[in-house]
């Protein structure tokens, strides 16, 4: 006699059990191998040393390819440098063209700096969510084992194939659920696991895409910074040839600064006793643009100008911060020493580009007391703009600078003593406005949004 065939319902139950068993085993196995995306790259670190074996032909071929790629990159960099030199040489003695290049490239640098900063913030959030999901799934191993045990009892035997990628585990689990292969009491658990695993897979794809974009922006930033450095060098070379005694003036300014103990005394001394600064101050008083009810922003488009296009008093609501960053201290806030802040403080990226918020003449550029590197601009009309906390200043006393022109770069830490007292973990730029020697609130001068900011 033929053996009795098992009921069809029993066979379907066994098959369903096997399918869901496979999907959840896949999930359990996939969890330990989900790579944590490193903070500074896509590859996880490798611990432990292994014995060095002789390179295989494939490894030798790969090394040769890497060497060839390095040679090609070096050649491309050299060609780019030659093109940059040629571009700068083509500017000739036209200071207007050079100024426009400086302003345009500085604006590009700051734009890419903004994109890089925003991408880094997004990645921190994504990395955190990925870690939360990984931790949650790891914590539910016991639950997964319970589900597996129940499905194993239904399936009677272990499935023949195991999946090791979270994407495969997700697909298998979804397929099992779609086919109704999960027994009712397990469906809720399986759906929750499927949702979390699906989010994890999506986040990993987003992280990879964000990191690719970030790498591209960082490459563009390095290229733009190289070009900007060359343009700044050319500007200062032309300035030095025009001002023969520039080095002597800078040395004298440094000596005078050591003998002064206040900012106002520094400004007064520079503009009275230092020839280049005195000339700048005199020019500011003679060439200052009259205050107009409706300032003409088109005047800022003349890169050959040698005097402010718009009177400083008329630029309220039009100026941009000198550096990309977040305001961490307000004008008038407590300075932590019993007084109040006479300016604002901006937390910036290490190495960030600093540009001028307005047109003006440099009356001091160098170290001063607890301010670190200090830049003072005479904006005309009795107004002065003080910028401190940079690591390096790239303009000289007596020089006229235009709105948006690069003048300095940030370092890696805070340089201003009063900011150091707040334990700032990143470089901080201090900005102060003065009218007839008295600090004033710079708030009314800043633009409400990027569309209204003046870049020149």
DSSP 130-155: HHHHHHHHHHTHHHHHHHHHHHHHHH
Say how far apart CA 272 and CA 368 lie, in whole Å: 18
Say how far apart CA 257 and CA 274 lie, in whole Å: 11
Q: Give tens-digit pLDDT for 159-218.
A: 433 334 566 555 555 555 554 555 565 667 667 777 887 888 888 899 999 999 998 998
Are 203 and 129 within 8 A, CB to CB? yes
Most confident stretch, 132-141, 379-388, 421-430? 379-388
Say how far apart CA 310 and CA 308 lie, in whole Å: 5
Structure-model confidence comparison of residues 123 and 70, the more confident one? 123
Say how far apart CA 129 and CA 166 lie, in whole Å: 16
Task: Of 48-52, 229-233, 327-331, give the lowest mean pLDDT range.
Answer: 48-52
Q: Give tens-digit pLDDT for 437-455.
A: 999 999 999 988 643 444 4
Structure-model confidence comparison of residues 90 and 338, the more confident one? 338
Say how far apart CA 113 and CA 247 lie, in whole Å: 33
Are 207 and 123 within 8 A, CB to CB? yes
Structure-model confidence comparison of residues 257 and 215, the more confident one? 215
From the list 25, 22, 16, the residue with the least C-alpha distance to 181 is 16
Are 309 and 289 within 8 A, CB to CB? yes
Residue 77: pLDDT above 60? yes
Structure-model confidence comparison of residues 260 and 109, the more confident one? 109
Q: In terms of DSSP bridges, do strands 438-440 and 428-435 run parallel, antiparallel, or are they unpaired?
A: antiparallel
What average pLDDT is seen over the chain? 74
Task: Of 57-61, 104-108, 154-158, 165-169, give the lowest mean pLDDT range.
Answer: 154-158
Rg for the chain (alpha carbons), in Å?
32
Q: What is the pLDDT of residue 369?
A: 81
For residue 267, give both structure tokens: 């400004």
Residue 71: pLDDT above 60? yes
Long-range Cβ pairs for the range 38-41 (8 Å, 24+) = 39/127, 41/211
**Secondary structure of residue 421 in the 3-state scheme:** coil
Residue 364: pLDDT above 80? yes
Residue 156: pLDDT above 60? no
* Mean pLDDT of all residues in 268-274: 78
| CA angle in degrees (0–180, nearest 5) for 351-354-357 | 165
Q: What is the pLDDT of residue 455?
A: 46
* Mean pLDDT of all residues in 71-76: 72
Q: What is the pLDDT of residue 55?
A: 78
Share of the chain above pLDDT 70, in %: 65
For residue 152, give both structure tokens: 């194993």
Cα separation values, 278 from 235, 270, 271, 283, Å: 22, 7, 4, 8
Q: What is the pLDDT of residue 100?
A: 87
List, in order, residues 6 or more apart from 401 with CB less than 8 Å away: 356, 359, 360, 361, 362, 377, 395, 407
Residue 45: pLDDT above 60? no
Say how far apart CA 231 and CA 365 lie, in whole Å: 19
Residue 32: pLDDT above 70? no
* Mean pLDDT of all residues in 34-52: 45
- Find residue 389's DSSP bridge partners: none
How big is the chain, counted in residues? 456
pLDDT bucket at 43, cuts 50 / 70 / 90:
very low
Structure-model confidence comparison of residues 233 and 94, the more confident one? 233
Are 354 and 379 within 8 A, CB to CB? no
Structure-model confidence comparison of residues 151 and 100, the more confident one? 100
Q: What is the pLDDT of residue 259?
A: 79
Are 344 and 327 within 8 A, CB to CB? yes
Say how far apart CA 290 and CA 366 lie, in whole Å: 30
For residue 309, give both structure tokens: 């296009």
For residue 199, give both structure tokens: 């989010």
């Amino acid at each position: 006699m033929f053996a009795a065939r098992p009921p069809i319902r029993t066979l379907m139950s066994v098959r369903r059990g096997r399918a869901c068993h496979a999907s959840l085993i896949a999930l359990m196995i996939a969890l330990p191998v989900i790579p944590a995306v490193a903070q500074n790259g896509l590859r996880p670190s490798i611990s432990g040393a292994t014995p060095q074996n002789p390179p295989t032909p494939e490894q030798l071929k790969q090394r040769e390819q890497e060497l060839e790629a390095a040679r090609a990159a070096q050649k491309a960099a050299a060609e780019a440098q030659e093109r940059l030199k040629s571009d700068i040489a083509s500017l000739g003695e036209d200071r207007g063209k050079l100024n426009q290049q400086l302003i345009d490239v500085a604006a590009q640098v700051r734009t890419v700096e903004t994109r890089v900063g925003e991408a880094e913030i997004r990645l921190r959030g994504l990395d955190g969510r990925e870690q939360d999901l990984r931790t949650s799934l790891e914590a539910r191993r016991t639950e997964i084992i319970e589900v597996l045990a129940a499905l194993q009892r239904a399936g009677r035997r272990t499935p023949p194939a195991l999946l090791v990628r979270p994407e495969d585990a997700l697909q298998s689990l979804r397929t099992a659920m779609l086919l109704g292969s999960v027994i009712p009491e397990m469906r809720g658990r399986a759906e929750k696991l499927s949702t979390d695993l699906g989010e994890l897979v999506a986040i990993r794809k987003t992280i990879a895409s964000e990191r690719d974009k970030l790498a591209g922006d960082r490459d563009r930033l390095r290229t733009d910074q190289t070009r900007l450095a060359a343009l700044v060098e050319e500007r200062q070379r032309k300035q030095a040839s025009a001002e023969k005694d520039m080095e002597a003036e800078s040395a004298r300014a440094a000596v005078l600064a050591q003998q002064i103990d206040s900012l106002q005394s520094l400004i007064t001394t520079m503009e009275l006793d230092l020839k280049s600064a005195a000339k700048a101050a005199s020019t500011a008083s003679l060439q200052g643009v009259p205050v107009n009810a409706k300032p003409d922003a088109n005047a800022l488009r003349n890169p050959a100008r040698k005097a402010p296009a718009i009177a400083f008093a008329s630029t309220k609501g039009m100026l941009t911060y000198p550096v990309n960053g977040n305001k961490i201290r307000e004008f008038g806030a407590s300075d932590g020493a019993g007084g109040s802040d006479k300016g604002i403080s901006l937390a910036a990226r290490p190495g960030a580009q600093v540009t001028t918020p307005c047109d003006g003449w440099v009356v001091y550029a160098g170290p001063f007391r607890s301010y670190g590197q200090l830049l003072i601009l005479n904006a005309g009309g009795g107004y002065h703009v003080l910028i401190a906390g940079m690591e390096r200043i790239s303009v000289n006393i007596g020089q006229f600078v235009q709105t948006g022109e690069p003048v300095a770069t940030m370092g890696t830490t805070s340089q201003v003593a009063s900011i150091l007292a707040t334990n700032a973990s990143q470089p901080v730029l201090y900005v102060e406005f003065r009218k007839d020697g008295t600090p004033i609130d710079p708030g009314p001068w800043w633009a409400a949004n990027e569309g209204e900011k003046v870049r020149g």
